[in-house]
Amino acid sequence: MDEKSEFEPEISTENTVDPHCMSCGMPMRTDEEYGTNTDGSRCDDYCMHCMVKGERK
């Protein structure tokens, strides 16, 4: 069974879903939409509305 069935779905390993804020669920597509840590770096878990300079809003 080395041949692929015409009905077998092709699985993509590419991530096609935008990251979302862990608090409010807002999709974060651009750097501006991410929150900030206390040192001003980007916070990958929360959006700009939920995390400002390391403080959860």
Q: What is the pLDDT of residues 8-55, one digit of tens each?
A: 766 666 656 789 999 999 999 999 999 999 999 999 999 999 999 999
Closest by CA to 21, choosing from 56, 41, 13, 39, is: 56
Which residue has better confidence, 2 or 55? 55
Q: What is the pLDDT of residue 5?
A: 58
DSSP 20: B
The structure tokens listed for 1 are: 């069974």
Q: Which residues contact 31 (CB under 8 A, 6 or more apart)?
A: 42
CB 50 within 8 A of CB 25: no
Q: What is the pLDDT of residue 17?
A: 74
- At 4, the pLDDT band (50, 70, 90 cuts) reads low
